[in-house]
Amino acid sequence: MKIQLLILGAIGILLLNSCGEPVAYGKVDKTPYPTKECIKELSCSAELKGPQIDKIVVYKKKRKMYTYSNGKLMHEFRISLGKNADKGNKVKAGDYRTPEGSYKIVRKKCDNRLYKSLMISYPNAADKARAAKRGVSTGGYITIHGQPKWNADGRGDAYTLSRDWTEGCMAVPNKAMDALWHAVRNGVKIDIHA
């Protein structure tokens, strides 16, 4: 039994270092957003920083996201949406539309292509029923995320926020994503309006 625990402990040390950060095994992440830093932060951050956000509201036509804590407005962020966001609610996988409806934040995610992200609970029951009537797949994996790696420093925010470029997600500046990352727990409600 002791030998098995020692072996398991050694394997754990090989696979993880401080705060559960994965070891790169010779691969060096030279990207502007070192994914390993995000993973380390995610595994170490049980405590949220600052006032907690308990509700997120998005207005697609305005290209705005609002966050609230106990009914008090905390933030207002400019956002980019799916390439076809102006064509209405998300109907099916691959339509590049941003969904409309009530959802929840289901998890935080580190991404090697984009800055940090918060996954939402799309598709909900109404989305599934609508897709079933049409005989199409709802798609999924809709998030609130930061900027692409080429815009790591935010110098391209004016460009990225002046157009819709995502596959259906809501993109915010990286500073906004950091504010969300540190103030949002799983289960926070997000309402997305036309």
Instruction: Give the model confidence (pLDDT) of 156-176 as tens digits.
Output: 999 999 999 999 999 999 999
pLDDT, mean over the chain: 83
Q: Give me the pLDDT at residue 38, please.
A: 75
* Residues contacting 20, CB < 8 A, separation 6+: 39, 40, 43, 44
Q: Between these two residues, 33 and 137, which has the higher pLDDT value?
A: 137
Q: Give me the pLDDT at residue 25, please.
A: 34
Q: What is the pLDDT of residues 29-61, one digit of tens each?
A: 455 566 677 777 776 655 677 789 999 999 999
Fold of 44-193: L,D-transpeptidase catalytic domain-like (2.40.440)
Residues of the chain with pLDDT > 90, as a percent, come to 68
Q: What is the pLDDT of residues 73-123, one digit of tens each?
A: 999 999 999 999 999 999 999 999 999 999 999 999 987 788 899 999 999
Q: Give me the pLDDT at residue 47, please.
A: 60
Q: Give me the pLDDT at residue 33, please.
A: 61
Give residue 74's identity as a one-letter amino acid code. Answer: M
Q: Between these two residues, 153 and 20, which has the higher pLDDT value?
A: 153
Domain boundaries along the sequence of the chain: 44-193
Q: Give me the pLDDT at residue 34, please.
A: 64
- 150, burial (CB in 10 Å: exposed 0-12, middle 13-18, buried 19+): exposed
Whether the Cβ atoms of residue 194 and residue 89 lie closer than 8 Å to each other: yes
